[in-house]
Amino acid sequence: MNNTNNDSPGKGKVIIAGAGPGDAELITIKLQKRLAEADVIICDRLVNPDIITLNAKKGVLVLNAGKQGYNDASIPQDEINQLIVSHALQGHTVLRLKGGDVAFFSNVLDELYAITANEIPFEIIPGITAAAGASAYTGIPLTARGFAQGVQWITFNPSANYRPEKWKYLAATNDTLVFYMASKNVIHLAELLIRYMGKKDVGLAIVEQATTPHQKVNITTLKRCAVDFKDKQFSSPSLVIVGDVVNLYHQFKWFNGENDGSLFKELEK
């Protein structure tokens, strides 16, 4: 049933789409078209509302289905699944709009199970994930030649049972490490990496609200993380980047709270 043809009488269709990392212009042309077609938009907390305002058709029903880590008041996934299915079964075109990309650390699998169980036609539209947006808007190339052999995208929850083998593997790699949903526990994360890496001078960046006018870049090292970020609260969403590539920020930064592109404009002169 992975098609967009509405060939089931009485049934609508579901479009699962990534809205990108925050900048309202960082969406695909395909998503722009689907926004203009949707009868119902079920929207994540981190989606820039300007994306809907600028592109959705008049009279569209917008339902907020935001989820947030460490927040018990977030809408349960089962209720989101039911929203998607119930509106599609009424014959509506439902756009499930997710921040970033649909395949990176989202609950798309649960939603796909619910959609296919009800034999509802669907379509998936990718988006720019937070790591790609943060990399571009900070001038930190995640796989810069001579600095990293690759990149790993990881989540971090200190309550999870991570075995020592996992940390030994991460410590031994030359890859850039990008941690989603980790800024709240970044000091503990840095301590674990130091324990297994043996190196303390590795760069660490926390990028808050990447690609938006509120973007802020916080630079330190694993060693200084506990000092520099003690009692510091980071705005959501935030992304943690660890690796030698972080040092490139000072050379190529072009978009942040202190430098809104002026460096880039100077280079164009």
In one-letter notation, the amino acid at residue 247 is N
Structural domain 131-268, CATH architecture: 2-Layer Sandwich (3.30)
**How many alpha carbons fall within 13 Å on the CB side of residue 41?**
28
Strands 176-180 and 238-242 turn out to be: antiparallel
Residue carrying structure tokens 């808007």? 137
pLDDT for position 257? 54
pLDDT for position 265? 39
pLDDT for position 261? 42
pLDDT for position 24? 96
Of the candidates 111, 84, 99, the one whose C-alpha atom is nearest the C-alpha of residue 45 is 99
pLDDT for position 199? 78
Provide the annotated active-site residues. 44, 67
Q: Which tokens in the block code for residue 124?
A: 């998936």
Q: Which tokens in the block code for residue 205?
A: 């960046």
Same fold, 13-128 and 131-268: no
From the number of C-beta atoms within 10 Å of its C-beta (0-12, 13-18, 19+), residue 255 rates as: buried
Euclidean distance between CA atoms 218 and 230, whole angstroms: 13
Question: Which residues does residue 207 pair with via DSSP β-bridges, in sequence order?
Answer: 217, 239
In one-letter notation, the amino acid at residue 140 is I
pLDDT for position 159? 73
pLDDT for position 162? 72
Of the candidates 132, 167, 128, the one whose C-alpha atom is nearest the C-alpha of residue 153 is 132
φ and ψ at residue 17, rounded to 5 degrees: -135, 150
Euclidean distance between CA atoms 267 and 140, whole angstroms: 17
Cβ atoms of 269 and 233 closer than 8 Å: no
pLDDT, block means (10 residues), the chain with 269 residues: 50 96 96 98 94 96 77 80 97 97 92 97 97 95 94 85 81 91 93 85 95 94 96 94 95 67 38
| CATH number of the domain located at residue range(s) 13-128 in this protein | 3.40.1010.10
Write out the H or E segment, with its range, that includes residue 97: strand 93-98
pLDDT for position 20? 96
Structural domain spans, the chain:
13-128, 131-268
